[in-house]
């Protein structure tokens, strides 16, 4: 079986303090063995990065950006291999993996503008013969800790911008599907990145803790579940590091009686079941205004779900694949059972679907649950599976109050033809990313991504303009070049003009 190791100072290493299997979730078979980094390797990686930092930060930004131009090309040339790795370890169907990669590449394209993004601000004559400017200086060595559900895109949210800002980066990918992240990191060397500037450490909690407490790490970007995001944010900041920690979600779509219901139903199906619902922006709750609209929507959704194809990644006719692990499959099934025993109506039951040839895979079929109440566990917690729940309400205001009261605030959407209602919704809803007839309002790479409430800990969102702020620190310089025959005495009052 192939071993998956670390990328340290440009070399692949297999140092380990133990190993663990990586599974193909469509077959349930262990396909690779992951090396878990020992503490000594964590320390070595941080030392290597700090040694590489000065030369890298002194490179002109345009030279750092040129590496990203080449890197974009390499990612595109290696698209099939990257999608295969995503499919094998995550289970995502090839067409969906290609979409994930493309959204990641768009962050590389944004990073190509480094020279423009890092220009800073300049003011001439702030005083007699005095000029002042503010510049963005890199932080040093920064770390990224990423989840299983986007093994290419989420690392690409982080390291292209961190690198072009002049930092060295250490990535700790998910231990569930580590090969994609390692593969895309290795391509950076081919693109011309100096050794040690980008490194990958494999492992779990002990590697993360090693990074969080290491004095040689300046900042931590995290994406994953809320309990871990909270832990990372607390540990990182207590250890004096800058931190952005993006957490879990429960994304609601309001379905208004005036909307184009057929269109809303199609959009909901894609956004709820795509990638088996394992997206932090998956629309998992339809909040339907009015009983008649809810009856019509449920009736419309059922035949659409019956037609969905669930299966292995390489068959591009499949709509979605398995969930990530056996434990996660049991957890998702458990939420479906709990909704049923709490009195909700199981319209389509996806527990244990028959997937021919993949009997040991971790499949959950599309599931639709109606008459869900806000006090049910299946409503309150993130399920992260192919499960859509319908909550019936009487008014848009009731729908908005429901969303505002939920602990998560990542994404939301409204389906309506009423511009005034949509504008009121987007202006007032307590959620970080809002769609108006757009089911997955994932911001493009030149905006930034982040939720509110328990979906994000920290002040700055991921990628886009916020990433320049996150991965640099501001320095403001004030300079005077007086003419040779001007000499001033000491001034004891606060300098003013």
Supply the residues annotated as catalytic.
280
Q: Does 223 bind ligand NAD (CB under 6 A)?
A: yes
Minimum CB–partner distance for residue 439 and ligand NAD (Å): 16
- Residue closer to ligand NAD by CB (options 71, 233) is 233
Q: Which of 85, 143, 219, 249 binds ligand NAD (CB under 6 A)?
A: 249
Q: Kindly indicate which of the ranges 148-156, 252-260, 351-359, 369-377 contains the residues binding ligand NAD, using the contact rule CB under 6 A.
A: 148-156
Binding to ligand NAD by CB under 6 A, coded x per residue (else -) over 260-299, reads --------------------x-------------------
Listed ranges 79-87, 201-209, 424-432, 464-472: which one lies at the site for ligand NAD (CB under 6 A): 201-209
The answer to whether residue 248 forms part of the interface with ligand NAD (CB under 6 A) is yes
| Distance between CA atoms of residues 26 and 411, nearest Å | 29
- 224 counts as binding ligand NAD under rule CB under 6 A: yes
Q: Return the residue of 102, 137, 225, 437 that touches ligand NAD, per CB under 6 A.
A: 225
Element (H, E) at 216: none
239 touching ligand NAD, by CB under 6 A: no
DSSP string, 258-311: TS-HHHHHHHHHHHHHGGGG-STT-EEEEEEESHHHHHHHHHHHHHHHHT--B-
Q: Does 19 bind ligand NAD (CB under 6 A)?
A: no
Q: How many CA atoms within 13 Å lie on the side-chain side of 89?
A: 29
Positive or negative torsion for Cα 407, 411, 415, 419 = positive
- Segment near ligand NAD (CB under 6 A); pick from 84-92, 202-210, 430-438, 467-475: 202-210
Segment near ligand NAD (CB under 6 A); pick from 2-10, 132-140, 224-232, 304-312: 224-232
Q: Which is nearer to ligand NAD, 196 or 247 (CB)?
A: 247
Least Å from the CB of residue 203 to ligand NAD: 7
Q: How far is the CB of 231 from ligand NAD (least distance, A)?
A: 6
Instruction: Count interface residues toward ligand NAD (CB under 6 A).
Output: 28
Is the Cβ of residue 172 or residue 242 nearer to ligand NAD in the bound state?
172
- Asked if 410 touches ligand NAD (CB under 6 A), the answer is yes
Closest separation in Å from C-beta 100 to ligand NAD: 11
What are φ and ψ of residue 195, in 5° steps?
-60, 145
Among 53, 384, 415, 457, binds ligand NAD (CB under 6 A): 384
35 is a contact residue toward ligand NAD (CB under 6 A): no
Specify the residue, 138 or 248, whose C-beta has the smaller distance to ligand NAD: 248
Confirm if 394 and 257 have CB atoms less than 8 A apart: no
Could you tell me which stretch among 241-249, 283-291, 340-348, 422-430 binds ligand NAD (CB under 6 A)? 241-249
- Residue of minimal Cβ distance to ligand NAD: 224
Q: Which residues bind ligand NAD (CB under 6 A)?
A: 145-150, 154, 172, 174-175, 204-205, 208, 223-225, 228, 231, 246-249, 280, 382, 384, 410, 451, 455
């Amino acid at each position: 079986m192939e071993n998956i190791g670390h990328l340290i100072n440009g070399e692949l290493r297999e140092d380990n303090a133990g190993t663990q299997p990586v599974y193909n979730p469509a077959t349930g078979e262990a396909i690779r063995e992951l090396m878990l980094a020992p503490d000594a390797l964590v320390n070595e990686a941080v030392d290597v990065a700090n040694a590489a930092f000065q030369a890298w930060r002194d490179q002109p930004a345009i030279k750092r950006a040129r590496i990203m131009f080449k890197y974009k090309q390499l990612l595109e040339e290696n698209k099939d291999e990257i999608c295969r790795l995503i499919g094998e370890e995550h289970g995502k169907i090839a067409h969906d993996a290609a979409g994930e990669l493309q959204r990641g590449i768009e962050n590389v394209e944004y990073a190509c503008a480094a020279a423009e993004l890092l220009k800073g601000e300049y003011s001439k004559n702030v005083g007699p013969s005095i000029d002042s400017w503010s510049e963005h200086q890199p932080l040093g060595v920064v770390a990224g800790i990423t989840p299983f559900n986007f093994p290419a895109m989420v690392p690409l949210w982080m390291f292209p911008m961190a690198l072009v800002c002049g930092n060295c980066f250490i990535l700790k990918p998910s231990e569930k599907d580590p090969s994609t992240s390692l593969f895309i990191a290795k391509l950076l060397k081919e693109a011309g990145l100096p050794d040690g500037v980008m490194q990958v450490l494999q492992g779990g909690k002990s590697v993360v803790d090693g990074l969080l407490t290491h004095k040689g790490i300046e900042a931590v970007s995290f994406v994953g579940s809320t309990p871990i995001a909270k832990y990372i944010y607390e540990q990182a900041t207590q250890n004096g590091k800058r931190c952005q920690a993006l957490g879990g979600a429960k994304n609601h779509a309001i379905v208004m009686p005036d909307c184009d219901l057929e269109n809303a139903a199609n959009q909901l199906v894609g956004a709820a079941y795509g990638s088996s619902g394992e997206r932090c922006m998956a629309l998992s709750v339809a909040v339907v205004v009015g009983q008649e609209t809810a009856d019509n929507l449920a009736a419309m959704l059922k035949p659409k779900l019956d037609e969905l194809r669930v299966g292995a990644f390489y068959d591009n006719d499949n709509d979605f694949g398995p969930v990530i692990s056996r434990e996660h499959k049991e957890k998702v099934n458990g939420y479906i059972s709990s909704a049923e025993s709490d009195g909700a109506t199981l319209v389509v039951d996806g527990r244990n679907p028959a997937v021919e040839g993949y009997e040991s895979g971790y499949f959950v079929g599309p599931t639709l649950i109606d008459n869900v109440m806000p006090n049910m566990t299946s409503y309150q917690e993130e399920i992260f599976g192919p499960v859509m729940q319908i909550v019936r309400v009487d008014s848009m205001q009731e729908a908005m109050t429901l969303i505002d009261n939920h602990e998560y605030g990542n994404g939301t959407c409204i389906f309506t033809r009423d511009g005034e209602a949509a504008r009121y919704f987007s202006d007032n809803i307590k959620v970080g990313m809002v769609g108006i007839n757009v089911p997955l309002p994932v911001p493009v790479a030149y905006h930034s991504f982040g939720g509110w409430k328990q979906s994000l800990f920290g002040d700055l969102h991921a990628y886009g303009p916020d990433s320049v702020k996150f991965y640099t620190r501001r320095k403001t310089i004030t300079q005077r070049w007086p003419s040779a025959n001007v000499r001033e005495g000491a001034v004891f009052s606060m300098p003013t003009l």
